[in-house]
Amino acid sequence: MVEIRTYGPWAVVTGASSGIGRAFAEQLAASGLHLVLAARSTDRLETLGAGLARAHGIECRVVTVDLGREGTAEEIVQATADIDVGLLISNAGTGMPGRFLDQDLADMHRRLTVNATAHLDLAHAFGRRFADRGRGGMVLVSALGADHGLPNMAHESASKAYVHSLGGALHYELASVGVQVMVLMPGNVDTPIMDEFGIDRASMPIRPLPAHVAVREALAAFLKGRAKHIPDRKMRAIVRLLPHKVSMRANGRMLGRAAQNLAERRAA
């Protein structure tokens, strides 16, 4: 069986300071891959990197970068120019529940840069590098809501739809040059983003999946050569069975409540 270690020796993980990205870093390090950890929180990345290097005898490099600013993905490309990267986990992302018309446009542009443009820049740069070395892998982290849009998170789901579509196409297009691409579509993974969004876990249709379980599933799906993966068997069943209108209304209500929770928290 192919092991994720064969995609090394180095892997780049964006958004590695928390949640799904952190779980990727932990599992890749345990497999023996050297890591480049990228996000804005230098302290968290350095603490994580030092712990993983000690525990697994790997090398770690930290890149502090704000991917919400145009062109900054290039800083990751430059910082890895001297090492042999074979795997990209393009995971950093963000969001803000609330009514579309109430949101600040400049803020939405910044979130579009993190959620879409940074994935484009990284997929292009590392795609070329992987094609040149004749082998490589990419996991592009989108979102379940990318499939159909989410009321009260219209902008984020639209930005994630770009990644969904890009990765879905690249899965086929880059296979001929030895580059394997998978889109990950989380919808209910238990990470700090849920608290940041003001989401009440009790209001979710099923209990959120721990991040390490979602990532274990994702890596298994990647190694099987899947084009996309939705973490959690129960979530996959809901997606298959729930009528579109019911799903849109339920998600819109849940995210509307989340926006209200956030507003109350800010006012307190």
Ligand X SMILES: NC(=O)c1ccc[n+]([C@@H]2O[C@H](COP(=O)([O-])OP(=O)(O)OC[C@H]3O[C@@H](n4cnc5c(N)ncnc54)[C@H](OP(=O)(O)O)[C@@H]3O)[C@@H](O)[C@H]2O)c1
Task: Compute the distance between CA of residue 79 and CA of residue 162 in angstroms, rounded to an integer.
Answer: 26
Q: How far is the CB of 46 from ligand X (least distance, A)?
A: 12
Number of Cβ within 10 Å of residue 192's Cβ equals 12
Q: How far is the CB of 192 from ligand X (least distance, A)?
A: 4
> 31 or 41: whose CB is closer to ligand X?
41
Task: Compute the distance between CA of residue 150 and CA of residue 191 in angstroms, rounded to an integer.
Answer: 19
Residue of minimal CB distance from ligand X?
93
Number of residues that bind ligand X (CB under 6 A): 30
Task: Name the one residue in this structure whose structure tokens are 């099923």.
Answer: 206
Q: Does 143 bind ligand X (CB under 6 A)?
A: yes
Positions in 156-215 near ligand X (CB under 6 A) = 186-189, 191-193, 196
Q: How far is the CB of 2 from ligand X (least distance, A)?
A: 25
| Phi and psi, residue 14, nearest 5° | -95, 150
- Residue ranges of alpha helices (H) inside the chain are 19-30, 42-56, 73-79, 105-112, 118-133, 154-173, 192-196, 211-223, 233-241, 244-267
Positions in 17-36 near ligand X (CB under 6 A) = 17-21
Q: How far is the CB of 208 from ligand X (least distance, A)?
A: 7
> 5 or 216: whose CB is closer to ligand X?
216
CB 138 within 8 A of CB 90: yes
**In the complex, which residues of this chain contact ligand X (CB under 6 A)?**
15-21, 39-41, 65-68, 91-95, 114, 141, 143, 186-189, 191-193, 196
